[in-house]
A and B are shown apart, each in its own frame.
Chain A
Amino acid sequence: MTQREHLRNLALLGLLALGLLALPQGLSVYLTSFALFTMMYVVLALSWNIISGFTGYTSFGHVAFYGIGAYACAILVVDHGWSWVTTLFAGALVAGLVAVAIGYPVLRLKGPYFAIAMLGMAEGTRVVATVWDGLTHGGLGISFPSVENSTSTYYAMLVLMLITIAVAYLVAHSRFGIRLNAIREDEVAAEALGINVTRYKLLAFVLSAVFPAAAGGIQAYKVLYIEPQAVFFVQITIAMALMSMLGGKGTVIGPVIGAVLLYTAQELTWVNFPTAHLIAYGLFIIVVARFMPRGLIGFAIDRGWVRKGMVH
């Protein structure tokens, strides 16, 4: 990508930031909250995409990092009196350390074995959150004292989303990102061509873990109540994967588009067809998988509307 295109994309991101900065002024509490959750899913999908899209390690347990962040926030705010913004960094740090500890053994597994190991890991963290009463208050969950938080959480999510987009963009267009792609395409060849695959995978995994943790923390403070079933909910992982795949995994813009489209669609069908919304959701997945296996961006690339590759 040329210097000019990078500048253009930076300008676009700036415009988006300005627009979103002004948004809460003109919107109802419901719509502000809707925008917040949309941005949250952008963060989640983009993060998932770093390990699963760029690097090719499909994670079915990414909600674990989100849940860890949510619990870090709740425990530190409610039991230890921390300021909630500080807990986001703490949550990201804990998730990063867990990613190193889990990733080191689990990233040796390939394909479905990795996916299932991650599913097990997420379930494991959920069980720990449920049974470790002393730390997590167990299955009852944790309630925050009531506060006015609608604007502060919105801006926190906005900042987090901008950081996540910037990091994903920098990774995608760097040789670091290209090397992650090489691992996805053929790990044996990548290693034979000088890439320390263990280190690269671990780095990608940590990057993909820290942002969901921060998002989980903001979400906890937004909703003011968390419990294991809600923050280690497997459907959140599925959403991350689906959004990335709908938009086009392995790209930056793909997961962003996918998150906005799918979350909006989900909200609309939920509001308008409460009984049929899961059916509509399922049909949608089938149609995308059948007709756009590489997502909207892949569809556009195949037709020559978008250039192939991340660097030119």
Chain B
Amino acid sequence: MMPDANGIALEARDLRKAFGGVHAVDGCSFAVPRGKICGLIGPNGSGKTTTFNLLTGLAQPDGGQVLHDGVDIAGLKPYRIFRRGITRTFQITRVFREMTVLENMLSVTGLAVPDRVARERAGELIALVNLTHLRGEYGGRLSYGQQKLLEFARALMTDPDVILLDEPAAGVNRTLLQQLLEQIHRLQETGKTILIVEHDMNVIMNHCERIFVMDYGVKIAEGPPSEIQGNERVIEAYFGRRQSGVVHAG
């Protein structure tokens, strides 16, 4: 099936996930348009990372659907979802610590791809994030920011279609962050779809075209940055209600 160029790349429909009695994601729906950079924001504990885990198969949804190019992928094993072209990075970096930068990269490519091709691609991406001088160093010896870059580069090894970034800016210094954001825009120019979870509002407001706001496991708002910034419910979710004494009612 040819993916619709202007369609929806990834869609969550009424996603639900509870841990014990806590409804981390409680009927959340949103649609990420193809070829756009979108943001997923919300206060701590609002269910963003759980949503990422549901989208990528690391958690099994209790209910609802995840549609990729119109196909329901909810509940598939993570490696199957990855092989459909959906990749991610992690909030707290998960580089392979006792493997070199090069090995981190090569581990991602399937065995059907010839070694030479995988190595070329790895070399290019390592250069792209300025880690060439560290290609033989253990992942665990890199600075936190460099680990973020490595994870980002690693996620691109298989030329994915949808890229989910969980707090890419956290712990990354200004210069590295600027590089990272440039790369993200370059990816978008080549038609990739990007969804970012981020607490840094500068990143979200300046770089995302569309923003989804979550609170208590549901989407409470959606729109371009200009709308979100003035949205009453969003401000309430972050700062509490204006009336005194009632915070986070409901």
Chain A positions within 8 Å of B, measured between CB atoms, are 175-176, 178-179, 181-182, 185-186, 188-197, 250, 307-312
Q: Closest A-chain residue to B56, C-beta based?
A: A192
Q: Is the CB of A188 within 8 A of B100?
A: no
B78–A192 contact, CB under 8 A? yes
- Shortest CB–CB separation between residue A207 and chain B, in angstroms? 15
B102 with A179: CB separation less than 8 A = no
Q: Which residues of A contact B158 (CB under 8 A)?
A: 194
* Contact across chains for A193 and B87 when beta carbons are under 8 A apart: yes
Query: Given A179-B107, A309-B99: A191 and B137 within 8 A (CB)?
Result: no
State how many angstroms separate the Cβ of B150 from the closest Cβ of chain A.
12
Residues of B whose CB lies within 8 Å of any CB of A are 56-58, 77-79, 82-83, 87-88, 90, 94, 96-100, 102-104, 106-111, 115, 118, 136-138, 154-155, 158
Q: Which residues of B contact A181 (CB under 8 A)?
A: 96, 98-99, 103, 107
**A175, A197, A312, most chain B CB atoms within 10 A:** A175
Kindly list 19 other residue pairs between chains A and B, CB separation below 8 angstroms, not including A182-B107, A186-B94, A192-B88.
A175-B115, A178-B106, A188-B58, A189-B94, A189-B96, A192-B57, A193-B79, A193-B87, A193-B107, A193-B154, A194-B79, A194-B108, A194-B110, A196-B77, A309-B99, A309-B103, A311-B100, A311-B106, A312-B102
Q: Is the CB of B107 within 8 A of A190?
A: yes
Contact A194 B82 (CB under 8 A): yes
Shortest Cβ gap from A23 to chain B (Å):
37
A182 nearest CB neighbor, chain B only: B107
CB-CB nearest in chain B for A294: B98
List B contacts of A194 (CB < 8 A). 79, 82-83, 108, 110, 158
Q: Are A188 and B94 in contact (CB under 8 A)?
A: yes
Decide if A175 touches B107 in the complex (CB within 8 Å).
yes
Residues of chain A within 8 A (CB-CB) of B109 are: 175
Whether the Cβ atoms of B107 and A178 lie closer than 8 Å is yes
Give, as a whole number of angstroms, the nearest-CB distance from B26 to chain A. 24
**A308 and B136 form a contact (CB under 8 A):** yes
Q: B103–A195 contact, CB under 8 A?
A: no
**B79 in complex: contacting residue of A185, A196, A308, CB < 8 Å:** A196
